[in-house]
Amino acid sequence: MTEGRKISRPINWIIIFVVLLYFVSVASAYDGLEWKNGTSGTLKRNEVISFGDYSVKVIAFSAPVESEKYKEVPIEPVEPFVELNISKNGSFINGTFLAQGDSFISDDSEFKVEVVKLPSGSSKDWLYESYKPWATLQLSQRGKPQLELSIKTDDEYVSGPNTEINAVIVLRNTGTAAINDIDLDLGTELPILRGYLKYHYETLMKGQEISEAVTFSTPAVTDIKKFNMFVNSSGVDIKDISYKATQLKTILIAPPLQQAPSLTKNTNAKAYLKDLIMVSISFKNNADYELKNVSIVDTVPKGVKQLSNNTLHWVVNVGPNQEWYFRYLLKPTGAGNVIFPPTTAEFDMKNEYYMIQSNKPETVIYGPRIELIKQADKSEINPGGDEVTVRVIAKNSGTTPTMVTIKDNLPPDTKLISGTTTLEEYLEAGKESSLSYTLSSNSAEPIELPPAKAEYFELGSQGSKLTTMSEKLLLSIRPPPTPEPTPEPTPDPAFETTVNSTGGPTDQQSGYAVNPGKEPEQPIIVEPTPTFDDANSVLNLLMECGNNSGTVPRINMTTDVCALVGNNP
């Protein structure tokens, strides 16, 4: 038996080696495949991991071995492997033995399981006394390419001998694997000037893109006409599976205007808050005849103001090949970006109405912007006297520094206890500064704290002074505490109540209702409930105990002597 074991063990390892060699050779045949990671996990025997339609179950590991006499390590190094069963949609499809770094690929090349890690050959996980092997598996899905197309060009063109249509065709592979043998075809009725209508590429890796520029000329048209650009692309992956993408772009081409006029608008690219902005408007008549009653209208955006009373509306006649222009000044009112609206021009050309717009220039205005906040440490004060701490905060939310002067005023019936009500500070952009003071008041009425005031320059210590105000504050008077109610006295149980049917008041002397015309009702006598002393009085009266002679003592309910024996108690 000992010899049989010695012979069978090498045979088993040879069989395992042949099986592993087979699967390794099969896996090497798919070196060109790209994989999209799916899921991973560390499993022990009989545990299962799933991904998509596939599931993998751990069946067995390398057999346990004996340990060395004085160490918790295998007596001989173990060749780690794991046995796996692979199923698809619940049906068994294959079993395999894999060592660390090996992988199994399904027959359709759509699924791969890889052994990422196993216990090392000297790990105690292989010992009989601590046999707990495990395997870290990575399940992956075959990567696939994905083609995307786009066409970049303007939507509208005006036909003309010098007008060109520039189009950029962009082909992207947004998938998870490369695509090969790619064709790109462009179809259109537009006459081509530069570039090609057909392209071919060997490979487009995942995440890559290809751009092709094509230039067309504008055909002669008498009316607005649509023209299509149709792009088609196709290619195959490593399994010769075909992938396609298409894109359609429609553009409009209009006939040329008869020597159309032009309208332009220009401003300063940048300015400081202390500066003036020059706006220049130009209308050029490119026709060889006069344009009459051209109505030109401009508007002022927020962030600037006019320095004149011009209505910015002009009606002019512009001679052939002549130019009309106008300039005016604006004053910035705050820091920031100002986008000027387009100027419009309306006119008739050969008995047809036209309206054109200028460009929209932009001006960046640099300057400070001071925000003022006033705060108090309480909103209620005690009547007759209290102290309040006030804080005024100035924040520069603009883009340039400025010299700031803050002033605050005390309301009537108040007195400054400590601190200051004025502050002068060179405040940088994004910074803030504050002043604080404490005041006292003996007023019994609510106090209104007036708004604080800040003055600052348009740029540093230059330019005009700007003013901003804080909100005002109201200090109300704290109401006195509510006194506890005084309990009402308990009325005497023996009293006389006069009630009349009218429910009205009753004359206390006559007992009749005050209201005339009503029949008075008899008063109701409320008799008191008899007490113990009243009972004694009645009995003494009946038995003549305690009469004026004074010979018979008064009866007491606690004894019955007088009741039974004459006048003797």
Note the Cα 484 to chain centre separation in Å: 52
**pLDDT in 10s for each residue of the chain, 569 residues:** 333 333 334 545 566 665 555 555 444 445 678 998 889 999 999 999 999 899 999 999 999 999 988 888 998 889 999 999 999 999 999 999 999 999 999 988 889 999 999 999 999 999 999 999 999 999 999 999 999 999 999 999 998 888 999 999 999 999 999 999 999 999 999 999 999 999 999 999 999 999 999 999 999 887 889 999 999 999 999 999 999 999 999 999 998 766 789 999 999 999 999 999 999 999 999 887 899 999 999 999 999 999 988 899 999 999 998 999 999 999 999 999 999 999 999 999 888 899 999 999 999 999 999 999 999 999 888 887 789 999 999 999 999 999 999 999 999 888 999 999 999 999 999 999 999 999 998 888 888 999 999 999 999 898 899 999 999 999 898 887 777 777 776 665 544 444 444 444 444 444 444 444 444 445 444 455 555 455 555 555 555 554 444 444 444 544 444 444 444 44
Handedness of CA 458, 461, 467, 469 (dihedral sign): positive
Residue 349 to residues 208, 255, 342, 413: CA-CA distances in angstroms?
52, 15, 21, 75
- Residue that is written with structure tokens 């006409």 in the block: 225
Give backbone dihedrals phi and psi of 537, rounded to 5 degrees, phi first: -65, -45
Give backbone dihedrals phi and psi of 182, rounded to 5 degrees, phi first: -100, 135
Structure-token pair, residue 426: 């060179």
- CATH number for region 370-477: 2.60.40.10
In the chain, the amino acid numbered 17 is F
- For 147-254, the fitting CATH number among 3.30.56.10, 2.60.40.10, 3.40.50.2300, 3.40.50.1000 is 2.60.40.10
In the chain, the amino acid numbered 360 is K
Alpha carbons within 13 A on the beta-carbon side of 68: 12
Work out the number of other CB atoms within 10 angstroms of the CB of residue 74: 22
In the chain, the amino acid numbered 332 is P
The length of the chain is 569
| pTM to 2 decimal places | 0.42
Which overall architecture, per CATH, does domain 262-366 show? Sandwich (2.60)
Three-state DSSP class for residue 13 = helix
**Any bridge partners for residue 347, and if so which?**
354
- Residue that is written with structure tokens 């004060």 in the block: 381
Domain boundaries of the chain, sorted by first residue = 35-142, 147-254, 262-366, 370-477
Residues 6+ apart with CB under 8 A from 256: 158, 159, 160
**Any bridge partners for residue 416, and if so which?**
439
Tell me the fold of 35-142: Tick-borne Encephalitis virus Glycoprotein; domain 1 (2.60.98)
Note the Cα 492 to chain centre separation in Å: 73
**Any bridge partners for residue 462, and if so which?**
459
Q: Examine domains 35-142 and 262-366 and report if their fold is the same.
A: no
